[in-house]
Structures are given as C-alpha cells and as structure tokens.
C-alpha cells in the first residue's frame, strides 16, 4: 500500500530539555535522563501515569478522532466501514441519548439473570454472556494448539475477576479496596434497578462467589509456567469432569462445532468453578452473573453508570482524578471494534513506505547481533545453541500493517439500537469469528495488533515479531535522528521482542512455534540460575515505601521476569547492532554526547513518565512489565557498556561485576 507523506514538525533526536543535569548519571540515571521531562510534563487529571507512550498515544487519538469526525460530515453508504465507524462514534458522543436511556439497554438481560430459578437454566445464560460481554466461572476460546502450532484448538481457562487479581479478594492489606469495590457494586445494582432492600444481599453474594473463585484461581506468577498450562484432555473426560455445565447446550449456544479435545490451562481452578456452580446458593450465582454483566456495560450507558465505574476503577484503583473527555472514550470504541478498518485508513494517510524499508534493515541488523550473542554465550552448550540459532533464523517479521485486511461486511452497526446493544452485537461477532477458526489451520498472516496501536509483540506459536505502524514515530523511531538514537529506541524495542522468543516463556517453544523442550537439562538449569539472579534484583526494589499502616511494596521479579529478560536482551542486542553498523568508525559526538551516551539516553527517554502511587501499587500487582524507572535503572546496572559510556565506576547506580547477570 502506498502511503502519503504528510509534513510534520521535526522532533529532536535527543531533546536536551528532557535531562536533569543536577542529578549525576552514577546516582540515578533515570532522573538524569528524564528529570527535565518529568518537570515539564506534570500528570494530567485524566491520567494515572503519563509518559512518552502516552504522548504518542494522545497524538494518535487526535489523528484517529479527526478521521472519525471527518466521516460524520458526509453520509456514508449503508453497510460500509465508514457508516459503521461514524455511527458507533456518534452514539458514543450522544450523552443526551445515553442519559435518557439510563438502565433500559441492560434491564432485559439483568431481569433474565435474576429470574433464574433452576441451576439447569444457568448453562444458556453462561454461554450467552461468554459469547458477548463477560466470562463468568470460566473462559472458552480458540487459539493455536501449543503442541501443534499449525492447528487451532479449543481452550478452557479460569474465570477473570472484576478487581483483576486474586490477591485483592484474599489479602488483608487490600481491605480498603474491597470496601470500595462493594460500594461500587451497590451503586451499579442500584442504578440497574435492584430493590434497595436487596442490594446488600446482592453485594455479599457477588463477594462470596468471587472470593471463592479467587481462592483457587492460579496466581499471575503461576500463569507464567507455560508447560503447566498445557493439559489436553478428551472431550468425554472434559464433560465428565466439569459436569456442572450442560456442554451440549453450551457448545450449541456458542456455535462450537464438533471437537475431540480441550486444552485446559488451569484444571484445579476449573474444578473449583465446577464445585461452585453445583453447591453455591443459586441467588449468589445470579447476583455474580448480573454484576459481571452490569460492570461490562457501565462504560456504554448513562453518565451515572460511567461515573460509578470511573470512581472505582479510575480513582480508587489507579488514582486518576477525572475521566477522559467524552471524545476520547467515544473514539476508542470504533477504533477497537473496527480496528483493522481504521488501521487501513490510518496507514494510507500517516505511514510512509520508506519507514517500512528502513525498519526491515534495522531488524536484519538486530537478528545478526542476537545471533552473535547466542554464539558467544558462555553458559549454553553448542547443542542448544544450534537450536536457538535455528529459531532466530526462522523469525517472521511483520512491520507496519497486514498484507490482507479483515473483512467486516457481516458486522452490523445499527444506530436504531442502543449503544450497548451494538457493543454486544460486535462482541458476539468477534466470538463467532474466533470460534469459526476451530478446525481450520492457523492463519500465520493474521495480525494480533492493529496498525494504529502504539505497541509491538512477539507471538510464540507463530514465532513472529510485529511492529505496527503507530510505534514507528518519535521517540521510538525518528527518521531524522542519528543511528545511535534509533538503535537506542526502536532498535531496543526490536531486540526486546526478539528476546521474548528466548525468555522464561518463549524459550519453551521451538522454531515452528510448538511447545517443545529443545534445551539440554544442563542448559535449562543454567538459564534458571541466571534468571533467579534477575528475579532477586527486582524483588529487592522498593517501589513504594511503608506508610499509613500499609507495608512497603516491592517489585515482583517473578511476574516481570520475561519483560526484564527482554529489556536487558533488547539493550545488549541493539547496542551490538549499533556497533556493527558503525563498522569501526566512531561517530563524532552530537550535542556533547557520544554515540554510546545517545544510545542510552534514547532508551531512557522511552520510559520517561510521571505516575501516581495508586497506579504504582496496581501495576506492580497486575503488570508483567516493570515500572518505567526500573526498566531503565535496574536493567542498565547489569551492563558494562552503560558504565563505560558514562565513565561510571562507583555510586548508587554502580553494581559490582560479581553481582551482575547477563542472560542473552
């Protein structure tokens, strides 16, 4: 696809105003490299954290909103993507209609759920909710079989929890959040029309069910052990073991055709859900399902519902002070529902083809550098190195946008229906689309992120790295910047995603994307010993001090291990690729900084941010990524090239060589 090059203001490769020279690099490199940025970019009330990613995402939101606003000024053909995008967008903006409708869009389903009088009726409702808005009790979906990556398989997994993590329901330190959560549940039950005398009973019922689920749900750390998540069982055994559900009725309602096996990721959690479905009071089950439905709908209803949702999820859990403006919330829905249609329009206007070509060259250089690193490892045998090199050489690289766009012809957006009804229908469309893949070969050309998303990924079952068009902008990629800056930014991002193929999860998959132990026992043990050091390094980081009777919060090195491995690998591989590109010719300093210094300053700039304490606590609990400050300071402390670049031999940033760890 040809893309138009639109004139845009040049962005400095390294903006010297981002630095805080009052802090020495050997004292706190993150503050030295980003302190000026933090001072100039205070947190906006709508954000729980605000950083370089957010600036780029905000710029993208403006671009996409402009595209949508333009669509609303002309009448689109019925059934066209322009009609679907603009109608969905306009519905999200129409606060008068949303407030006038109130709870009417959800009332029929809520009444159906609360009218259940027999457990036999639950299956149809569970299937209906699974197909459209939420995953009560368990989740079902189709993905590539981890042991046969060319084939799509049916997976069953534990239920999600509305507060996001099991510990919020179980740990004493989170009592204040549970109190706020119960207040939120009471509010949405009230708004949905539950009699006042019934609300306390309903809230208690939800808490009993979710707490019972939480007790047996696998922890976030346990969910990182990929081999333990692969438990393939025959359909007959699955139906017999999890007998609280009428599986014939469920699969019929979900549109699931014939299948012979199910891959259960969390067997003990599903055992628990099965027991709860059979033994918990029916009233509690009803309230739990109704709460999940209302919670999912809250953002698409009246201001009263939206405010209640924000008060808990935004303010209490994340520390945000105010909601995003309505245009941002409205824009986000069609951008998600019709993501590739929006992406096709986006890249035609904003993604120059020359950037794709330059990126391909950088990726090739990064692959060469990672190959050098594998060859030079002192802890891995030649036998395992051969397999690692084969996997690296087999990477599929996706840049910018897909070769084939998703077809949304059968997705209907009807402005005569409520906003929520349209969202439900869109969710059903996606569920049907996913279920239809069962029995079909895996589509390796499929993208798992749209082009307009500021992100990147590695997918182990297809052994692919993907870099959507939207991330190929400053500060990640700057066509006007010197190589050192681009290798320190987008080069590290590329190296990061490549390293995911060899992190604590990715290393379990072979070059074909199959779950397959290609490591010798000694090499696997050496890898685990090294990663244990990295886990301990991050566990020692105090992200929030003890106060107000609450204990100090430390980083979770086990949860964030994969990302920390990838951050370190990305930095090391990108630095080697930069040196290779220099071919022995050291560039002259720019703005008084050497190429090596500019490399590390560019990396730090990616993670410049301000963040609220509530969000620090929440992300440390839920996010597999370390906080921005520690993605910089804790990672570079292991790298001699960082110390050499800034002449660091002592100070708080300095880590003795005996305490460092190098993995890839």
Is the pLDDT confidence value at 75 over 50? yes
Please indicate, yes or no, whether residues 165 and 225 belong to a single structural domain of this protein: yes
Q: How confident is the model over 244-279, as pLDDT tens digits?
A: 999 999 999 999 999 999 999 999 999 999 999 999
Q: List, in order, residues 6 or more apart from 49 with CB less than 8 Å away.
A: 43, 609, 610, 611, 612, 615, 619
Indicate the residue among 300, 319, 348 that finishes a domain: 300
Please indicate, yes or no, whether residues 553 and 638 belong to a single structural domain of this protein: yes
Q: How confident is the model over 135-188, as pLDDT tens digits?
A: 999 999 999 999 999 999 999 999 999 999 999 999 999 999 999 999 999 999
Q: Which two tokens stand for residue 16?
A: 């010297």
Q: How confident is the model over 341-357, as pLDDT tens digits?
A: 999 999 999 988 887 88
Domain that holds residue 213: 107-300
Domain of residue 270, CATH code: 1.10.1380.10
What is the rounded distance in angstroms from the CA atom of residue 216 to the CA atom of residue 411? Answer: 38
Is the pLDDT confidence value at 304 over 50? yes
| Residue 239 within any structural domain of the chain | yes
Indicate the residue among 245, 270, 300 that finishes a domain: 300
Exposure string for 494-519, b = 16+ CB within 10 A, e = fewer: bbbbbbbbbbbbbbbbbbebbbeebb
Please indicate, yes or no, whether residues 223 and 166 belong to a single structural domain of this protein: yes
Inter-helix orientation angle 561-582/492-500, to 10°: 130
Give a three-class secondary structure readout of 486-518. HHHHHHHHHHHHHHHCCCCCHHHECCCCCECCC
Domain of residue 533, CATH code: 3.40.390.10
Tally of domains within the chain: 2
Please indicate, yes or no, whether residues 29 and 128 belong to a single structural domain of this protein: no
Helix (H) or strand (E) holding 466: strand 464-468
| Residue 521 within any structural domain of the chain | yes
**Burial tier of 101 (Cβ tally within 10 Å: 0-12, 13-18, 19+):** middle
Is the pLDDT confidence value at 595 over 70? yes
Please indicate, yes or no, whether residues 55 and 156 belong to a single structural domain of this protein: no
Q: Which residues pair with 294 in a beta bridge?
A: none
| Residue 73 within any structural domain of the chain | no
> What pLDDT band is residue 2 in, cutting at 50, 70 and 90?
very low
Q: How far apart are the first and last CA of the chain?
A: 36
| Residue 316 within any structural domain of the chain | no
Give the percent of the chain with pLDDT over 70: 99
| Residue 92 within any structural domain of the chain | no
Please indicate, yes or no, whether residues 195 and 243 belong to a single structural domain of this protein: yes
What is the rounded distance in angstroms from the CA atom of residue 458 to the CA atom of residue 461? Answer: 9
Q: Looking at residue 17, what DSSP letter applies?
A: G
Please indicate, yes or no, whether residues 532 and 585 belong to a single structural domain of this protein: yes
Indicate the residue among 271, 300, 329 that finishes a domain: 300
Please indicate, yes or no, whether residues 542 and 399 belong to a single structural domain of this protein: yes
What is the rounded distance in angstroms from the CA atom of residue 61 to the CA atom of residue 68? Answer: 10
Please indicate, yes or no, whether residues 121 and 177 belong to a single structural domain of this protein: yes
Is the pLDDT confidence value at 8 over 70? no
What is the rounded distance in angstroms from the CA atom of residue 351 to the CA atom of residue 564? Answer: 30
| Residue 664 within any structural domain of the chain | no
> What pLDDT band is residue 5 in, cutting at 50, 70 and 90?
very low
Please indicate, yes or no, whether residues 269 and 170 belong to a single structural domain of this protein: yes
Q: How confident is the model over 442-488, as pLDDT tens digits?
A: 999 999 999 999 999 999 999 999 999 999 989 999 988 999 999 99
Quote the pLDDT of residue 321. 94
| Residue 329 within any structural domain of the chain | no
| Residue 578 within any structural domain of the chain | yes
Please indicate, yes or no, whether residues 406 and 494 belong to a single structural domain of this protein: yes
Please indicate, yes or no, whether residues 408 and 260 belong to a single structural domain of this protein: no
Lowest mean pLDDT of 4-13, 87-96, 474-483, 631-640, name the range.
4-13
């Amino acid at each position: 696809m040809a893309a138009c090059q639109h004139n845009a203001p040049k962005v400095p490769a390294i903006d010297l105003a981002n630095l805080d020279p009052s802090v020495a690099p050997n004292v706190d490199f993150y503050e030295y490299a980003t302190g000026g940025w933090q001072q100039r970019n205070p947190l906006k009330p709508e954000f729980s954290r605000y950083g370089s990613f957010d600036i780029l995402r905000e710029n993208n939101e403006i671009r996409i909103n402009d595209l949508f606003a333009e669509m609303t000024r002309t009448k689109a053909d019925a059934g066209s993507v322009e009609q679907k995008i603009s109608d969905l967008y306009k519905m999200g903006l129409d606060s008068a209609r949303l407030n006038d409708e109130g709870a009417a869009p959800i009332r029929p389903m809520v009444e159906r759920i609360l009218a259940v009088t027999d457990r036999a009726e639950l299956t149809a409702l569970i299937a209906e909710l699974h197909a459209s808005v939420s995953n009560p009790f368990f989740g079902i979906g189709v993905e590539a079989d981890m042991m046969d990556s060319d084939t799509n398989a049916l997976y069953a997994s534990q239920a999600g929890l509305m507060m996001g993590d099991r510990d919020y329901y179980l740990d004493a330190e989170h009592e204040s959040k549970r109190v706020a959560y119960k207040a939120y549940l009471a509010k949405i039950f009230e708004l949905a029309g539950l009699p006042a005398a019934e609300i306390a009973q309903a809230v208690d019922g939800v808490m009993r069910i979710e707490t019972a689920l939480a007790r047996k749900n696998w922890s976030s750390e346990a969910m990182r052990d990929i081999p333990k998540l692969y438990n393939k069982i025959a359909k007959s055994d699955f139906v017999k073991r999890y007998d609280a559900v009428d599986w014939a009725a469920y699969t019929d309602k979900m549109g699931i055709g014939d299948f012979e096996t199910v891959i259960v990721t969390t067997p003990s959690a599903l055992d628990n859900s099965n027991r709860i479905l059979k033994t918990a009071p029916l009233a509690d089950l009803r309230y739990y399902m109704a709460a999940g439905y209302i919670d999912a709908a809250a953002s698409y209803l009246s201001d009263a519902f939206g405010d209640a949702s924000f008060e808990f999820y935004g303010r209490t859990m994340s520390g945000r002070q105010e909601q995003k403006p309505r245009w941002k919330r409205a824009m986000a829905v069609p951008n998600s529902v019709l993501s590739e249609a929006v992406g096709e329009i986006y890249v035609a206007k904003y993604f120059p083809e020359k950037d794709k070509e330059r990126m391909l060259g950088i990726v090739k250089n990064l692959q060469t550098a990672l190959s050098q690193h594998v060859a030079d490892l002192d802890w891995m045998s030649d036998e395992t190195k051969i397999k690692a090199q084969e996997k690296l050489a087999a990477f599929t690289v996706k840049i910018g946008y897909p070769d084939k766009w998703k077809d949304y012809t059968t997705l209907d957006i009807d402005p005569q229906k409520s906003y929520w009804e349209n969202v439900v229908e869109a969710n059903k469309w996606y569920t049907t689309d996913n279920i239809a893949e069962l029995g079909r070969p895996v589509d390796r050309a499929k993208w798992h992120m749209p082009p307009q998303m500021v992100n990147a990924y590695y997918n182990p079952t297809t052994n692919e790295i993907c870099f959507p068009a939207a991330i190929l902008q400053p500060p990640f990629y700057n066509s006007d910047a010197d190589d050192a800056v681009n290798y320190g930014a987008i080069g590290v991002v590329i190296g990061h995603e490549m390293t995911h193929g060899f992190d604590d999860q990715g290393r379990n998959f072979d070059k074909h994307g199959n779950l397959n132990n290609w490591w010798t026992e000694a090499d696997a043990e050496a890898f685990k010993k090294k990663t244990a050091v990295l886990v301990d390094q991050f566990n020692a980081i105090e992200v929030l001090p003890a106060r107000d009777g609450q204990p100090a919060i430390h980083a979770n090195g086990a949860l964030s291990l994969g990302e920390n491995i990838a951050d370190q690998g990305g930095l090391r591989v990108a630095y080697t690729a930069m040196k290779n590109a220099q071919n022995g010719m050291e560039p002259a300093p720019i703005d008084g900084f050497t190429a090596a210094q500019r490399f590390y300053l560019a990396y730090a700039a990616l993670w410049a941010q301000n963040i609220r304490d509530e969000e620090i606590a929440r992300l440390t609990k839920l996010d597999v990524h370390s906080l921005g400050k520690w993605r910089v300071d804790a990672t570079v402390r292991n790298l001699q090239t960082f110390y050499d670049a800034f002449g660091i031999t002592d100070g708080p940033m300095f880590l003795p060589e005996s305490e460092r760890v190098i993995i890839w």
